[in-house]
Amino acid sequence: MEIPVDFLDAFSPPKMINKGVIGNESGESIPYFIELGLSKSSILECNKWKEFIYKFIMDFVDKNPAIIDYRKELQKDIMLEDYHWNWSKKAFHYNTSEYNWFFLKTSEGIQSVCMTYHPKKSVVQSINIFYIHYLASAPWNRKSSLHERKYKGVGIEILKQVQVYFLKVHKYDYGFSLHSLPQAQSFYQHIGMINYPEYNDEQGLLFYEMNNKNAIALLGGKYA
């Protein structure tokens, strides 16, 4: 499907909904803010993440000429399963009111992005929660033995802020759900999400939900 060249220009201006600090590679606390909404500049900036990953791959290949299966070796050290994502296509298909786009930004630009759908019925409780369609950290913020992360915890931080948004604005209960890429499963399990196999999808992606208790723990206590 061909995407109109100017479709991004139709989006309304995003707004800042919260702010805080995150740690960088030097241990400094760096200010960030959470932006809600789509903008042409944000989507095009996310598309440029591919340039970083491509350079990362080429540097690895140059330094390791004897390796035969580069993808297998690289996937031990950096998440590549979302390398093919085209953020412009996602924005084109998911820009109606039930979808929300969140960006965690520092003075250096976008550090993580989360796109949600709501309302979503919980599979374990009779409540409304939100569903995460896409969650991604900028490639330079991903844990890897091949490079030092620029900012730490940007994935968890944006999840916390998105949870607070749905508690405050939409009055949903604690919790959220998603289908996970294989490389991200350990992350979701680590933060307290539980797999419910009966809801795994036909592509083999595992379904996870964060229950009420674990969502409260993720925030460090109930949101006031």
Is residue 224 a part of any domain in this protein? no
Residue 63: pLDDT above 70? Answer: yes
Give the lowest-confidence range in 86-90, 165-169, 191-195.
Answer: 86-90
- Residue 75 pLDDT: 67
Sheet-wide strand order for 176-180: 151-152, 15-24, 29-36, 99-106, 109-121, 128-137, 176-180, 206-210, 194-195
Q: Is 197 contained in some domain?
A: yes
| Residues 6 or more apart whose Cβ sits within 8 Å of residue 223 | 163, 164, 167, 168
Q: Is residue 213 part of a domain?
A: yes
Which pLDDT does position 127 carry in this prediction? Answer: 93
Whether residue 187 lies inside any domain: the answer is yes
Residue 2: pLDDT over 60: no
Residue 126 belongs to domain with CATH number: 3.40.630.30
Mean pLDDT of 48-70: 80
- What's the number of domains the chain is made of? 1
Residue 131 within any structural domain of the chain? yes
Domain of residue 133, residue span? 7-219
Express each pLDDT in 7-44 by its tens digit: 666 676 799 999 999 999 999 999 999 999 999 899 99
Residue 88 belongs to some domain of the structure:
yes
Whose structure tokens read 């400094």?
28
pLDDT surpassing 70 at residue 164: yes
